[in-house]
Amino acid sequence: MQKVVAVTGNEAVANALRQANPDVCAAYPITPATDMMQRFASFVSNGEVDTELILVESEHSSMSACIGASAAGGRVITATSSQGLALMWEMLHIASGDNLPIIMPVVNRALSAPLNIHGDHSDAMGARDTGWIQLWSEDAQEAYDNTIQAFRIGEHLALRLPVMINLDGFIISHSIERMEYLEDKAVEDFIGEFKVVNALLDLDKPKSYGPLILPDLYIEYKRLQHEIMSRVKGVVLDVAEDFEKLSGRKYGLFESYRLEDAEVGLVIMSSAAGTAKDVVDSLRVKGIKAGLLKPRLFRPFPYGEMAASLQNLKAVAVMDRADSFGGYGPVFMEVSSALYGSSKRPALINKIYGLGGRDFLPAHAEETFLELVDIAKGGGIKTIKEYIGVRQ
Amino acid sequence: MSDLIEIRWHGRGGQGTVTAAKVLADACLSGGRYVQAFPEYGPERAGAPLRAYNRISSNRLRMHCPVLEPHVVGIVDATLIDAINVAEGTPENAMFVVNTSKGPAEIRTRLKAGERQKVFTVDATKIATDCIGRALPNFPMLGAVVKVTGLVTLDHLLEDVKKSFGKKFSQKIIDGNLEAVRRGYEEVTEG
């Protein structure tokens, strides 16, 4: 039995965290993630979880406390956004390098300067190379489902990796939507008991975390991290299969929407993908063979699978809600890397959209599709990287 | 998609407009419908103009952007009619529900409403003052919007409003608000 509710994205994810009943949560408030941790703190105060809540003085400290608690042998969570994630940066590498399966929802928000609190993917894209698994969510339901699955993925004995679950700030975190909660017992059984590995608090078997490794072995250690990451896709798919049995909701490495016979397509993440799907449907009615690919697992990136899904299209626009000034958008860089090895591949353009919470409207998706139709007809690419929805 | 109803609310900070949108979304969950409720986030100040939105449909809602062509426009503060374009993007059969002590004919002129657009008025501020002793027009407006749209029954709405108060409020406050919803529902008039 699933319970139908109308809740915000933050409330939905806070409930998934409650159902996982972590041992430790170390948190520091930042908009728009504040409200998620505030709700979780209420669960702690009301005795609905067994979690020890540590209120710290910064995000650098929250991640440090998470690392200590995780190494000690506990199931550990936190959540953050934007500058908070940026301040965690050096500790993010330590969490992954020490194989600590910390679970962290990231409510995506723009980075300063100038100061902006709204939805944008710059924060988590900046954490791309920190060695964390990244899952991205379209709406409150996906954010909830991804959070539950994240515990199974990160805590898997073949991985033991930290996981970020991304959801769009305000657009999802603060909007009320209909979604379905799984029963507490079903989630508890699905996630299973936390398996302690190399606990620092196991005093009979002393361990050392984060020792000095000199040039004679450092690259071997990093090579191993890459190898562990290469196992993630399989685990993500296995967990998704079990989750579908439980919930009826299907997840993969990414979602393909009307892509099989498509000639033009968008690669677009998170909440904007929903808006773009409605546009795909309306273009199909007009006889335009439009399709869409929505990335879910961004780290590790499923290069081969994505290339196979996109190589037969004629023209594709990769949509980025983050930028690399003087470079292409981060998703574009991955998609073009994925396609370079294919003998057949579509023309590829990059659109930067929605920075700092600027609305992504159906008209933006439509005008991009029409540009792709023109390119597909042989009209040629005018500019590879362009910004959309910019006021002149 | 034909059964999709999109609502845009115009209010000022402090009038409970966002709460009205949230309670409406919750009430419309019945019958397996999909709902959304979300405000436009800006600097939140009492008295500043704000917008909030609802989408209600029997199909899954995937659109994640503001409502651009609202079927229903709820105007919680009539001074906004002269301050901003509350009719922006409205289709020719749109409905306006306005909190005002003026009659619907006068408001129709001020809105420059189209021939097929419907204009409803309700004195939500007076109702709220009568029922709860405060000029909080959101719940009478909610009652009026539910009446003209027929989205849920009055009884169903009252149940949800009651639920939204939780356990923190006295029976007197809850009863006053329920009466405000009921009067908004009953007193809204078309012109």
Nearest chain A CA: its distance from B8 CA (Å): 14
What per-residue confidence (pLDDT) applies to A381? Answer: 97
In the stretch 244-303 of chain A, residues with CB closer than 8 A to chain B read: 271-272, 274-275, 277-278
Q: Do A278 and B33 touch (CB under 8 A)?
A: no
**Residues in chain A, pLDDT under 50:** none
Tokens of residue B98, six digits: 């306005």
DSSP B93: T
Determine the CATH number of domain B5-190. Answer: 3.40.920.10
| CATH superfamily of the A2-247 domain | Thiamin diphosphate (ThDP)-binding fold, Pyr/PP domains (3.40.50.970)
Residues of chain A neighbouring B29 (CB-CB closer than 8 A): 4-6, 178
Residues A105 and A165: beta-carbon distance below 8 Å: yes
Residues A28 and A53: beta-carbon distance below 8 Å: no
Region B35-41 average pLDDT:
94
> DSSP of B108-148, one letter per residue?
HHHHT--TT-EEEEE-HHHHHHHHHSS--THHHHHHHHHHH
Rounded distance between C-alpha atoms, residue B98 and residue B148, angstroms:
12
Burial class (CB in 10 A: 0-12, 13-18, 19+), A32: buried
Answer yes or no: same fold for A2-247 and A254-387.
yes
Q: Which of A360, A361, A385, A355 is nearest to A371 (CA)?
A: A385
What per-residue confidence (pLDDT) applies to B1? Answer: 39
Burial class (CB in 10 A: 0-12, 13-18, 19+), A219: exposed
Segments making up each domain of chain A, as ranges: 2-247, 254-387
Estimate the crossing angle of helix B154-164 against helix B138-149, to 10 degrees. Answer: 150
Q: Do A176 and B33 touch (CB under 8 A)?
A: no
Which of B32, B62, B66 lies nearest to residue A278, judging by beta carbons? B62
Which of B35, B66, B68 lies nearest to residue A6, judging by beta carbons? B35
Cα–chain-centroid distance for residue B9? 6
Region B131-137 average pLDDT:
95
A interface test, pick of B2, B8, B41, B58 with most A CB neighbours within 10 Å:
B41
Which of B25, B33, B65 lies nearest to residue A359, judging by beta carbons? B65
Residues of chain B neighbouring A139 (CB-CB closer than 8 A): 62, 64
Rounded distance between C-alpha atoms, residue A223 and residue B48, angstroms:
56
Instruction: For this complex, say whether ipTM is above 0.85.
Output: yes
What per-residue confidence (pLDDT) applies to B132? Answer: 95
pLDDT at residue B38 is higher than 70? yes
In the stretch 17-36 of chain A, residues with CB closer than 8 A to chain B read: none
Q: Does B41 touch chain A (CB under 8 A)?
A: yes
A interface test, pick of B9, B33, B55, B64 with most A CB neighbours within 10 Å:
B64
Q: For B8-29, what is each residue's pLDDT tens digit?
A: 999 999 999 999 999 999 999 9
Residues of chain A neighbouring B64 (CB-CB closer than 8 A): 139, 168, 171-172, 175, 271-272, 274-275, 360
What per-residue confidence (pLDDT) applies to B2? Answer: 56
Q: Does A311 touch chain B (CB under 8 A)?
A: no
Q: Do A6 and B29 touch (CB under 8 A)?
A: yes
Q: Do A359 and B66 touch (CB under 8 A)?
A: yes
Residues of chain A neighbouring B26 (CB-CB closer than 8 A): 6, 176
Which of B34, B41, B66 lies nearest to residue A174, judging by beta carbons? B41
Nearest chain A CA: its distance from B2 CA (Å): 13
What per-residue confidence (pLDDT) applies to B42? Answer: 76
3-class SS letters over chain A: CCEEEEEEHHHHHHHHHHHHCCCEEEECCCCCCHHHHHHHHHHHHCCCCCCEEEECCCHHHHHHHHHHHHHHCCCEECCECHHHHHHCHHHHHHHHHCCCCCEEEEEECCCCCCCCCCCCCHHHHHCHHHCCEEEECCCHHHHHHHHHHHHHHHCCCCCCCCEEEEEECCCCCCCEEEEEECCHHHHHHHHCCCCCCCCCCCCCCCCCCCCCCCCCCHHHHHHHHHHHHHCHHHHHHHHHHHHHHHHCCCCCCEEEECCCCCCEEEECCHHHHHHHHHHHHHHHHCCCCEEEEEECEEECCCHHHHHHHHCCCCEEEEEECCCCCCCCCHHHHHHHHHHHCCCCCCEEEEEECCHHHCCCCHHHHHHHHHHHHHHHHHHCCCCCEEECCCCC
Region B91-96 average pLDDT:
97
Residues of chain B neighbouring A138 (CB-CB closer than 8 A): 62
What per-residue confidence (pLDDT) applies to A383? Answer: 97
Rounded distance between C-alpha atoms, residue B117 and residue B96, angstroms:
8
Q: Do B38 and A176 touch (CB under 8 A)?
A: yes
pLDDT at residue B44 is higher than 80? no
Q: Which of the listed CATH numbers 3.90.1150.10, 3.20.20.70, 3.40.50.920, 3.30.230.30 matches domain A254-387? A: 3.40.50.920
Q: Does B29 touch chain A (CB under 8 A)?
A: yes
Percent of chain B predicted with pLDDT > 90: 90
